[in-house]
Structure formats: C-alpha cells, structure tokens
A and B are shown apart, each in its own frame.
Chain A
C-alpha cells in the first residue's frame, strides 16, 4: 500500500515511546496529571496495583482504537467519540474487576469509574493517538499507564509500610518486632494529604536529578 519501508514493531523509536513516560515524561511527576486518583487509591499496595493495571489497559486500548479510527473522526465531535471509547473500556474493566476481584473492586469503589475522567487518558488521546498510527499509540498508552503505575506503587508502598505497617497485606513491621521498641504506625500517611507530600518529594528528587526538568521562572 505505502511506498516507504515498513518500520519494525519494536524499533528504537517505539521503545522510547514506552520508556520516556516512565521517567523523563512521567504523567504524574512531570505532566502533573491524574493526581486525584494517585491520592485516593494509594493507601494500600493492592488497590494501587490493580488501579495501575486498569489505567494501563484502558489507556493502551483506547489509544489503539482512537488511533485506528483517527481519520474518520470529525474534528468537532472528537471529544465525544474519545469519551465513548474510554467509557466503554472503563465499563469493561469495571465489570471484569467485579467478577474476578470483588473485594479490590469494592475498595477502589468509584475510582474505577472515575478512570473515565482521568486526565492522562484524554491527554494521550488528544496529544498522541489523534496524530499517530495504532501500534505506536498502543505503546504510548502502555508507557503512560506504566509511568502512572510506577508512581502509584511507590507512593502506596511508602504509605502502606509506614501507615499500616504492612506490605501487600503482609504485616512486615509486626514480624520484625519493631512495635515493641515503641514504634507506632503514622496515622497521617493514611490521610490523602500525605500522598500529596510524597508525590511532592518524588518530584523534588526527580528534578534535582534532572535539572532540565525544572520550570523556568
């Protein structure tokens, strides 16, 4: 069909689409998107992990679908079309979780449904999928979902370990016998503001390692 040489599926360019959102262009710490859910679902590691997976799947598949039909979407109603695709994906994921992971789905409550309004999704569709081919778009969605997921897992790990004394439900602090020294779980880490502070610290660390990320005054 086309004249130019076909690009290999895992070319360096495509791999980069996956790796940049993990670090240098992270949706949470650099683009500062999807913060609300990052604060809400990171009290424990398990829901955070499930949330990260759900967002990754939804972003990747919606990117794929929108990229495939990007040439047929009228510009004026593109947001509506994008939303329909995202909403369909989210409902599928929600139903899947309800069927196979009911207790986690209950913990995540409205936040699965609220993936629809997650800024990362609309951001990727608008910024990438509308202008690129399906396969790179799919990789881009995977990368951004994973970048979001990494931050979620880091925050949830810190919050669960210090706030509840467990890791993925396993009572680490108790097994180590730390409580007998007078140590106590920190109640503030259970509260959402502390998640914001942890995300802030990650941003602080990242920018001190990559000074070019610091915004110009």
Chain B
C-alpha cells in the first residue's frame, strides 16, 4: 500500500497545472481518490467536509444492491435450467447466471464510465463516482437476453442525453438507469416485453419443456391468465421470470434495510411508495371488474419491479423530491401511478418505470410548492406577531 502511495506521489506533479500531462488531471485524480481517501480540506470559512462523500454513498448503494444481484444470478440459472428441463444444482444455477450477467455489467460500466471520463476531460471537471450505481442498476433492470449492443446504446443515450447534457452528476432530471430502460422499451419492444426475453436462451429458439411458459406474473395477469400465477411465496423469494435484479422481493428488502439503516436511502419515499401502491391496489379491488383488479393489493408488491423501483429508483436523491413533505407526496404518487398503469393499460405491463420517470419531472415542482407554503406559513406567523406588538 505504501509503495503505491509513493508511486502516485511521484507521478503526481506531471498531472498538476503546468505538468506535461495536465490535460489528464481529472483522470489522475479520479484514480487517486479511488485508491486513497482524498486529502482535500476546505480553505475558507467554517465548512466541514463530511466523510460521507459521493464515493461512500455510492459504495453503500452498491452493497445494498448485492443481494439482488446475487439472487439475480442464481435465478437466471434456475430459470434457464427449468426451461430446458434439467435438474441442476444450486451452485451450477448461480455460476451459469453469473457468467450470463457479467457481460451486461461490463458493457454497462464500460460505456457509461467511458463517456463520463470523456465528458469530464472536455469540461475540466473532476471524475466522480456518479455512474457507479447507475452502471449496476442498468443491467439489473434488463431482461437477461438483451443484446449487448442495445445495452451499450441505451447506456450511452442515458448518460449523454439524460445526464451530461444537464451538467453531469447531480444535475440530471431523470433517473439515468430508468432512462436507459425506457429507451430500450420504446426502441426495441420485441426485446423488452413478451414471454421469451426473460429467460436465457429462449429468444435463440432453444428447445423448451412442454408447458413451460416464460411469462412474468405481470404479463400473465395482463393476458387474463391469473390462474397460472405463481404462489405469493415464490414471487416473494423471486424464483419467477423477470428482469435480472427485480424478481426477489426479499433480496430487495435486505437492500432496503441497508439503505435505511445507513440513512442513504430515504425511508419516507420507500414507505410512501408502498403506501401509494397499496391504496391504488385497494381501490382497484373496490372496482373489481376483471381478474386483474380482483387480485389482493399486496400482490403488487411482490410482482414485477415495484419493490425494486421503490427501493432503488425512487430514492435516487438527485431526481427525487428533496423536502420532507415533498418526499411523501412524490413516493405516494409513484405508487399510485405504477398500479394505475399496470392494471388499466394493457400496452404497458409494468408501470413502475413510467411512473417514476413521470414523477421525476414533477419532483422539482412538488419541492417548490412545499417550500413556498412553508415560507407563506412563516410569513403569516411573523405578521401576527408584528400586529400584536404594534397593538
């Protein structure tokens, strides 16, 4: 470790202003702060640098995502061997899925970080860890069979048009990972919906066992085949077809606990999203004109990407609401809209993505009105106090 530090100190002057490699300064700083705690201190005023910097925040989210990722790998293998009717061991399942997911993760990080590096050089910004979480979220919300070039294209689209255009990390209006998914959803619907894309090998015309269906619970419901729905327990544990990281509600809940315990993710948003979903689910139960509306409201939590969206997407601190009251409104509306789109619009089997993207747009507006109403309330109080004094 020490020799590494010495080595870095030795080449450091080349990258500082006036050095021959000063153009690559941000690349150097990026790697330095990746390896060591940056030695930056504030020079003026009474600012305190919190040790929870962007890097640590991002690392916590990555840790919170691990259960979903690991289970996703296991489930990918499980679904694959199930579809071809082979009884496989747990480890075999995991290893198979792991090897299938790895290229997706590499492409997502490669393309995203590549663009971030280039953008940082052009702007003369520091390289930051802004893409660390998005880069892992993107593969987790993809179907396993998505072609790699599509994934790369979507990542590039999301990073350039969703993030860099607005000024880079912390300035984006939309959640970049969801933007990548939305791009693919509208660009190549054949690869993003249907019964075949969720299980490795099905799109390549692999032989499958008779009676096996790769349909997700949501598409079963959208097709009106609620009788074929897997049991709640299966959906809760996550041994069902779906996007890589979103099938297992329990793995996501472990992640949620990590996020809440460390204070990184907003528990208000998570709770209110679930509350919104439950409210809309119960409302649907009251209407109950078809099978989809009659399913118990809590089913919505374990099906599709609802839990994943609520825990990892809605809580994005950049694109979500910032004020306390705003977070409750923001989360609640995400829950309501998700279920509304799911149940009432057969063209979009999963509504969580669109609901969160839509509420991303409204988050600043919600915050604005929360802040304004607070200002007005305090002004009123000040006026009353003033009146009493003058009397």
Query: Contact mask A184-205 → B, CB, 8 Å, 1/0?
Result: 1011110100000100000010
Question: B residues touching A (Cβ–Cβ < 8 Å)?
Answer: 147, 149-150, 161, 165, 183, 186-190
Beta-carbon contacts under 8 Å, A164-217 to B: 182-184, 186-189, 191, 197, 204
With contacts A184-B190, A188-B183 known, what are 17 further pairs, Cβ within 8 A? A182-B147, A182-B149, A183-B149, A184-B150, A184-B188, A186-B187, A186-B188, A187-B186, A187-B187, A187-B188, A187-B189, A188-B186, A188-B187, A189-B187, A191-B186, A197-B161, A204-B165
Task: State in angstroms the CA–CA spacing of A59 and B187 once bound together.
Answer: 36
* Size of the chain A interface, CB-CB below 8 angstroms: 10
> Shortest distance in angstroms between A91's beta carbon and chain B's nearest beta carbon?
37
A–B complex contacts, Cβ < 8 Å, 19 sampled: A182-B147, A182-B149, A183-B149, A184-B150, A184-B188, A184-B190, A186-B187, A186-B188, A187-B186, A187-B187, A187-B188, A187-B189, A188-B183, A188-B186, A188-B187, A189-B187, A191-B186, A197-B161, A204-B165
Task: State in angstroms the CA–CA spacing of A183 and B183 once bound together.
Answer: 16
In the complex, what residues of B have CB within 8 A of residue A188's CB?
183, 186-187
Interface centre among B186, B188, B189, B190 (most CB of A within 10 A): B186
In the complex, what residues of A have CB within 8 A of residue B161's CB?
197
In the complex, what residues of B have CB within 8 A of residue A186's CB?
187-188
Interface centre among B165, B187, B188 (most CB of A within 10 A): B187
> Shortest distance in angstroms between A203's beta carbon and chain B's nearest beta carbon?
11
In the complex, what residues of B have CB within 8 A of residue A189's CB?
187
Task: State in angstroms the CA–CA spacing of A197 and B157 once bound together.
Answer: 11
Task: State in angstroms the CA–CA spacing of A191 and B161 once bound together.
Answer: 17
Interface centre among A183, A187, A204 (most CB of B within 10 A): A187
> Shortest distance in angstroms between B162's beta carbon and chain A's nearest beta carbon?
11
Task: State in angstroms the CA–CA spacing of A8 and B316 once bound together.
Answer: 64
Task: State in angstroms the CA–CA spacing of A191 and B186 once bound together.
Answer: 9
Closest to B150 in A: A184
In the complex, what residues of A have CB within 8 A of residue B190's CB?
184
